[in-house]
Amino acid sequence: MESLFGVGNGSAPDRNLALEFCRGTEAAAMLAGRWMGRGDKNAADGAAVSAMRYMLNTVDMDGIVVIGEGEKDEAPMLFNGEKLGTGKGVPIDIAVDPIDGTRLTAMGLSGAISVVAGAPRGTMFNPKSVFYMDKLVTGPEAKDAIDITVGPAENVRRVAEAKHKAVGDVTVVVLDRPRHEKLIEEIRSVGARIKLIPDGDIGGALLTCKTERGADLLMGIGGTPEAVITACAVKALGGAMECRLWAKNEGQLASALKDGFDMDRIIRLDDLVSSDDVFFAATGITDGDFLSGVRYDGARIVTSSLVMRSKSGTVRFLTAEHQPRKLDMLSGMKYTASSR
């Protein structure tokens, strides 16, 4: 049986595809970063998609996008079902978000990243018509403590106990949305701290697995595609995740029920990505709590990336220097700054 990272029983993988995927996130971040603070989300997204697609199509793999955003005729997105790679090598499912935080990028706010995750074919959860999930994420120290059925306050208490800290020392990451008013009130009622983020809950979930200057929990409703990508990262980092599907309106609920989903079912980490042979790559676009943003310095561009393999448990933080003029010639894209 061929493994995601090698042949046979996987004891001697021939290469780390996560490192190759990092080339895709680096490329996307470098081109998207040119649009930081310029107020054009579509231009930033289009640049990131073009760069990521170009790079991922150079990788020897038989990849299919199972978690994307958009359809074939709706540029500028990597669409569900799109084939990526040279077609050679192992068949894999790919989850992509060329920019997690397009608004953050366009407004020059912190926390935007470019992300790719992958796993063996058929092992990623397919959300179909369900666009949102209620999520609960924590890091390795409290992975056995969380339970989405007991409510926010109790989960805060459980995580505090598991991490041997006071409830008042617990920090919870929550997307800043009107739908979270009640959630925020309940977290505050037990005395926990809250880190509100405007967008980018993949990056927010990563904070729960960070030992220094991180957070303890992520709670609240966010995108289902982002949940699957997050699951790949959390699995590699040894954390835990529990979710329930959530419908924004009656139309979404009807679609979910038609597709056979049980809205009350607890969806755990292994339901979101069943394989233990998972990889994840992310590159910072704007400065964030986990990764630095892209730095432009005339003759060079500096990127900061995170690369992980769940099978080996290896976590790499990579700083890379790129020469934009050479990238222009190799790719036919515009990595150098425009002059006016």
Work out the percent of the chain whose per-residue pLDDT is above 90.
79
Which CATH architecture best describes the domain 15-123+276-328? 2-Layer Sandwich (3.30)
Residue 70 has a pLDDT of 52
Q: Do domains 15-123+276-328 and 130-270 have the same CATH topology?
A: no
Which residues participate in the annotated binding site for substrate?
Answer: 100-102, 132, 177-179, 199-201, 223
What is the pLDDT, as a whole number, of residue 76? 57
Confidence check: pLDDT of 162 > 70 = yes
Q: What is the mean pLDDT of the chain?
A: 90
- Interval 73-83 mean pLDDT: 72
Mean pLDDT of 247-268: 93
10: pLDDT strictly greater than 60 = no
Binding residues for Mn(2+), as ranges, are: 45, 69, 97, 100, 226
Residue ranges per domain, the chain? Answer: 15-123+276-328, 130-270
pLDDT digits (tens, 9 = 90+) for 30-67: 999 999 999 999 999 999 999 999 999 999 999 999 99
Nearest-angstrom CA–CA distance, 240 and 195: 19
Nearest to 113 by CA among 51, 183, 33, 167: 33
Which residues sit in the known binding site?
Answer: 45, 69, 97, 100-102, 132, 177-179, 199-201, 223, 226
Residues 137 and 174: beta-carbon distance below 8 Å? no
Task: Evaluate whether 272 touches 130 at the Cβ level (below 8 Å).
Answer: no
Average pLDDT estimate for 210-237? 92
Q: What percent of the chain has pLDDT over 70?
A: 93
Name the residue among 205, 39, 175, 42 with its Cα closest to residue 113. Answer: 205
What pLDDT was estimated at residue 340? Answer: 62
Round to whole Å and give the CA distance between 83 and 53. Answer: 10
Is 40 in contact with 334 (CB distance < 8 Å)? no
Per-residue pLDDT, 223: 92
| pLDDT the model gives residue 331 | 87
Q: Is the pTM of this model over 0.85?
A: yes
130-270 carries CATH number 1.10.10.60:
no
